[in-house]
Amino acid sequence: MNNFLDPPIYPRRHFCDAQDSIEELIRNIQAPDALIAMEVGSCMSIVTQPLYDIRLPTGQVRPLSMNWAVIADSGERKSAVHAIVAKPIYEFDQRMKEKYDVQIEHYKAELDFWKSVLSGLKQKLVKLTREDACVKDLKEQMSEHAKAKPAKPRQRRIMRKLTNERAMMEALEGCGESIGFVSDEGQVLVKGGALERVGINNSLWDGAELVMDRSDGVQLHVKDPRMSISFMIQRLVFKQFLGKRGDELRGSGNWARYLIGDPRTTKGTRFISTVNPPYVHLSKFQFRMGELLEEYERRIELGKIERDILEFSEDAIRRWIEMSNEIEYMLRPSQYLHDIDDFASKVLEITSRLAGVMHVFSSQEGKISVDTLQRAFDIVGWHIDEFKRLFSPELAVSEVVINAMKVEDYLYRKVWQANYTYVLQNYAFNFGPIRTKAKFQPALDCLESLGRIQIGVGPRGERYINLHHGYFQAKQFPVLDNF
């Protein structure tokens, strides 16, 4: 379970071959560790979902699509992380656009020629009709000509942002199409309404078949679609959105399909040692993304998108069953998951999807191993704590705890990192983050009760905040973990 004053480091080392890239990004960009790792996981799922599905031990075949949501305020370097990690996907989209531009010009020329021939056939039909001549052969010609009408090329783009329901259906129309709603500013998705189509989003996460009737009488038919959602959203926007739609999203099981994270800020710890830090491992990660996207492109060109089905090894199946029983036990009224049973019901499937994504991305052969499954479960376990912390009424974070977090950050950055082990209480009050006595004292009491500080009294009655040496010496912010 998470400690609210000291959230644990994200289990990014469980990401198989992607872990070195994650560590490198954390060192170079110095954004919150969970923000970076979740962006990496999101891109991994987006490039694998068009190519693979996974068979659960229950026999169900499920998509590798995944939903991710990061709560992060301005200045957390969300855009920088997204731009560098998702770069191969945007390059794929640009390449597909260039292909489409060529194809559409060819299509227009072919269509003009086809229309000219059709016009000639119609003129012949008028002439024969006037002459009372037989038009049987001409009708056959016109029928064959209708079949030869050029097909309009499809414009494919994985990355989507602003859209409405019809545009979503049009993007996925056909069989086996794959897209991602991705934004480093979640407000775009919120305002665009992409997150409000709860029923459709749930169905698309499941890979379900959908049909929409258009006003012109034509149906939009979506079969075997794949869609992942990933967004980073500011805390205030997220709170407002939950205030309006939170009950519906939770009640419908929509939030249960997300891996949500609210990582601790790295502001105030992002010290620069070089202006152009080197990237060694990231290029390998991006190369692998490119390989999977090229395979997707190859299958598109074949005219039929088919997916391979991943399966678990016997050891992994046994561990999967153990996990299932562990989760079931924790749903009891006195156990950890009883108040977030909606998310708990999806934990094993999300874990299985993530295991499949990591198996493919790290080029593992054969069936998914128990090691990969356990790695995925450890990552999802961090999100279980986050979901409970964010949505469980039993663990709502009080204002005292929030203020204590702010005071602790101040003591760490301004006192401990300045090589001091104590500070006058009045000084911390006058220059620290909490300057209301009615809020400052309870925050100190909270920290003292946890053994992180001790309040001492000087010879003239002045009060000192003494920092616990062992705690602050061992304390590491995520970004400083490998600094």
As a dihedral over the C-alpha atoms of residue 296, residue 298, residue 303, residue 308, rounded to 10 degrees, the angle is -50
What is the C-alpha to C-alpha distance for residues 343 and 254, in angstroms, rounded to an integer?
Answer: 9
Neighbours of 254 (CB within 10 A): 22
**Predicted confidence (pLDDT) per residue in 180-223, tens digit:** 988 877 777 666 666 667 788 889 999 998 888 776 667 888 99
**Ranges of the chain whose pLDDT falls below 70:** 1-7, 162-163, 189-196, 215-217, 245-246, 393-398, 475-483
Taking each helix axis from N to C end, the angle separating 399-410 and 437-449, rounded to the nearest 10 degrees, works out to 80
pLDDT digits (tens, 9 = 90+) for 73-129: 888 999 999 999 999 999 999 999 999 999 999 999 999 999 999 999 999 888 888
At 475, is the secondary structure helix, strand, or coil? coil
Distance separating alpha carbons of residues 345 and 331, to the nearest angstrom? 9
| Helix, strand or coil, per DSSP, at residue 21 | helix
Residue range 399-480 forms a domain whose CATH class is mainly alpha
Q: What is the pLDDT of residue 479?
A: 34
- Short-list 428, 254, 424, 282, CA closest to 342: 254
- 121: closest CA among 95, 147, 98, 142? 142
Rg, Å, the chain Cα set: 28
Phi, then psi, of 337 in degrees rounded to 5: -100, 5
Q: Which of 174, 204, 250 is nearest to 66 (CA)?
A: 204
DSSP for 308-319, written as a single string: EEE-B-HHHHHH
Q: What is the pLDDT of residue 396?
A: 52
pLDDT at 482: 30
Q: Is residue 263 within 8 Å of 35, Cβ to Cβ? A: yes
CA dist 195 to 90, 229, 242, 255, Å?
A: 22, 9, 11, 10
Q: Classify burial at 69, counting beta carbons within 10 Å of its beta carbon; exposed 0-12, middle 13-18, buried 19 or more.
A: buried
The pLDDT of residue 104: 95
Rounded alpha-carbon distances, angstroms, from residue 77 to 39, 72, 80, 402 = 12, 9, 5, 23
- Assessment of whether the complete model's pTM goes beyond 0.95: no
Determine the pLDDT at residue 393.
62
The domain locations on the chain are 12-95+156-395, 399-480
- Distance, in Å, from the CA atom of 365 to the CA atom of 334, rounded to the nearest integer, reads 42
Residue 160 is inside which H or E element, if any? strand 159-160
Residue 226 pairs in a beta bridge with 178
Pairing of strands 178-183, 159-160: parallel
In this structure, CATH architecture of domain 12-95+156-395: 3-Layer(aba) Sandwich (3.40)
- Which 8-state DSSP code applies to residue 262? -
Distance between CA 201 and CA 208 in Å, rounded? 10
DSSP 107-153: HHHHHHHHHHHHHHHHHHHHHHHHTT---HHHHHHHHHHHHTPPPPP
